[in-house]
Chain A
């Protein structure tokens, strides 16, 4: 059963990862694609952060930047990714992952050990020519000082933990012999084998059936409880967000549109983009006509001036939204929103004309 985690927010959770003004740009022939363009958020130990938004809004690029997995011609060009470490001698140390070399020793130690990742299509991240056991063992061997026998035992234990039936027999299976749900369990077993403090999951259930998705989401919740692990869960399915998130970051065109706790997202959302997303999903049993967001996500080369969402926004204020690029402002209870409807932190000349109107 799913633990109800919305109520247990009284104690202040320990900080694990701070992303500050992260910028990842891709330098391609036609120009610069600002896939991540100034993203801020924090992840706390043992909690689940969901990152939502349409395709092409920079969700995956943000995740890849955290792990220094950005492919050429992309590059992190600014900002910090501060990891508050917890293992071994490094306990208490704060490292800026964005400043580390992608293939350097430190990054290799962190990647897979302290921060692990699972992907949408497990077949692309798992090898078809190695057995399940080999792939889980590889991750363990790389990071933990264990004997070969211990590694083998731990791999079986991990397969058992992700509820793969008959784990010792499946050690010698190949991934193509398994179903989609089972493959995702295998990649989860490999990712969790070193008990990472943070698991980044990039649309891990999108390719699965609803019933399998429900099983995998349950498994995430159980393993999170067991390992006190933080999860950064990338999805575009708001139903999944409602089921698992503690906090939510809504992204649009490489920026954070809104950052909030999950209850407020669904019941008191602030940003027009968040509201529009919620209006575009079918309600159970409801025959009310859907209200899709106008148009589509603009091409990365034609980024609108001012607020990136203004051409599709219902609350568009001419002369303001298409001129002023809003910043992320704290509205209340740790909720942030990047919209001119809220907050006053706008450019100096704007501030004068807006003097009378307060923050709502």
Chain B
């Protein structure tokens, strides 16, 4: 185990006035030391054959009303973290402190079934693939109305009213509610998924690669919709994505994950303009720039090779096997997430001495 990292959340607790952003009333969800391990056992003695540490000691605060981006490569644990927060998974250890609308703080990592239902009405998930996430045998009314029914809206006319209101909110015509998902395009289906997520007037929406499967023009429509919905209903977003331009467009803050750990956390502008972690630098340099005149104008800093298997993470800094700036200490000691520049947290031993290339 590494030593206790200096974490933003701890600071927020100690001196609430200092790190609370102007935009919101503080922290909505405070994730503390969250770990999610997937243990595979085999044989009659249940011998442990692998232990995938998908999420490892993640500490992260999600502020009320913000859009927080969560980025990283496939397999870095960003989806698992999102699913832990929405409590589709029961985390192995750690806390998910959720500030309810009445101001009381509960730990969502340990909830009774009844409490969990209320929590999951407040924190909703939108999935990546609008083709597999909607039941083809249910009409839009049934799809969007299902969470309403589950949460006690038993009158069919009430549900119809609410669903037509929701369809309008996401830019679809209310008369579509009797149709089945196959009648709709990818962009329209994603609007349906968003309508379903909004059905219970949630406080937070976790969008897991919600725009990745869409065409550029449709993606722009959905991004604008998400932006508008946030402005209308003070929603909080956790945008899980591998597309850094989406984060740049929509999110005020961004957390970069690598092998189950948050390696950098700061305002989007700060991360893109002054990255503190070599992995962030590698990610930023890999984004293709939409201008052929920028071709070859800047050095590409590649991340060598590929991300190691999360069941077999390297010792020391998880990124050291691919890092261009690796030193001896990186191979031994896990760097804690600490404030390496004002308002920027990074988990790198050499953050202060390195000058990294911005986007």
* Interface residues of A, Cβ cutoff 8 Å to B: 1-4, 6, 54-55, 165, 179-182, 209-215, 217-218, 236-243, 245, 262-263, 265-267, 276-278, 280-287, 289-293, 296-297
- For window 204-222 of chain B, which residues contact chain A by CB distance below 8 Å? 215-221
Q: Is the interface of B mostly helix, strand, loop or mixed?
A: helix
> Number of B residues contacting the other chain (C-beta, 8 Å)?
46
Of A54, A237, A283, A289, which contacts B224 at CB under 8 A?
A: A289
Which of chain A's residues have a CB closer than 8 A to the CB of B310? none
Residue from B73, B215, B218, B305 having most chain A Cβ neighbours under 10 A: B215
Of B14-22, B172-180, B293-301, B329-337, the one contacting chain A is: B293-301
Of A55, A211, A282, A289, which contacts B186 at CB under 8 A?
A: A55
Can you list 10 residue pairs at the A/B interface with Cβ under 8 Å?
Answer: A6-B295, A54-B218, A212-B306, A213-B286, A239-B245, A283-B290, A284-B248, A292-B217, A292-B219, A296-B185
Instruction: Give bound CA distance, A243 to B290, whole Å.
Output: 8
Indicate if the CB atoms of A293 and B245 lie closer than 8 Å: no
Indicate if the CB atoms of A238 and B74 lie closer than 8 Å: no
Is B291 interfacial (CB 8 A cutoff)? yes
The smallest beta-carbon distance between B267 and chain A, in angstroms, is 13
Instruction: Give bound CA distance, A217 to B288, whole Å.
Output: 10
Of chain B, the residue at the smallest CB distance from A215 is B302
The smallest beta-carbon distance between B349 and chain A, in angstroms, is 22
Is B292 interfacial (CB 8 A cutoff)? yes
Indicate if the CB atoms of B288 and A242 lie closer than 8 Å: yes
Residue from B73, B216, B282 having most chain A Cβ neighbours under 10 A: B216
Of A165, A180, A285, A292, which contacts B359 at CB under 8 A?
A: A285
Is B187 interfacial (CB 8 A cutoff)? yes
Which of chain B's residues have a CB closer than 8 A to the CB of A291? 220
Indicate if the CB atoms of A242 and B290 lie closer than 8 Å: yes
Q: A179-B306, A209-B242 are contacts. A284–B295 as well, Cβ < 8 Å?
A: no
The total of interchain contacts (Cβ-Cβ below 8 angstroms) comes to 140
Q: A243-B295, A285-B359 are contacts. A211–B286 as well, Cβ < 8 Å?
A: yes
Residue from A6, A209, A286 having most chain B Cβ neighbours under 10 A: A209
Indicate if the CB atoms of A54 and B288 lie closer than 8 Å: no
- Give the 3 A-B CB pairs with smallest separation, nearest first: A239-B288, A292-B220, A214-B286
Of A265, A281, A292, which contacts B245 at CB under 8 A?
A: A281
Indicate if the CB atoms of A211 and B282 lie closer than 8 Å: yes
The smallest beta-carbon distance between B295 and chain A, in angstroms, is 6
Is B246 interfacial (CB 8 A cutoff)? yes
Which of chain B's residues have a CB closer than 8 A to the CB of A237? 216, 288
Is B303 interfacial (CB 8 A cutoff)? yes
Which of chain A's residues have a CB closer than 8 A to the CB of B245? 239, 281-282, 284
Instruction: Give bound CA distance, A165 to B306, whole Å.
Output: 12
Which of chain A's residues have a CB closer than 8 A to the CB of B240? none
Which of chain B's residues have a CB closer than 8 A to the CB of A297? 185, 215
Which of chain B's residues have a CB closer than 8 A to the CB of A265? 292
Instruction: Give bound CA distance, A266 to B246, whole Å.
Output: 20
Known: A218-B302, A242-B291. 20 other contacts (CB 8 A): A1-B300, A55-B186, A181-B306, A209-B73, A210-B242, A211-B73, A211-B302, A211-B303, A214-B300, A214-B302, A239-B287, A239-B288, A240-B288, A243-B292, A266-B292, A278-B290, A280-B216, A282-B220, A282-B223, A282-B249
The smallest beta-carbon distance between B131 and chain A, in angstroms, is 12
Indicate if the CB atoms of A266 and B242 lie closer than 8 Å: no
Instruction: Give bound CA distance, A162 to B215, whole Å.
Output: 29
Of chain B, the residue at the smallest CB distance from A55 is B215
Instruction: Give bound CA distance, A217 to B306, whole Å.
Output: 15
Q: B277-293: contact bitstring with A at CB < 8 Å (1 yes, 0 no)?
A: 00000110111111111
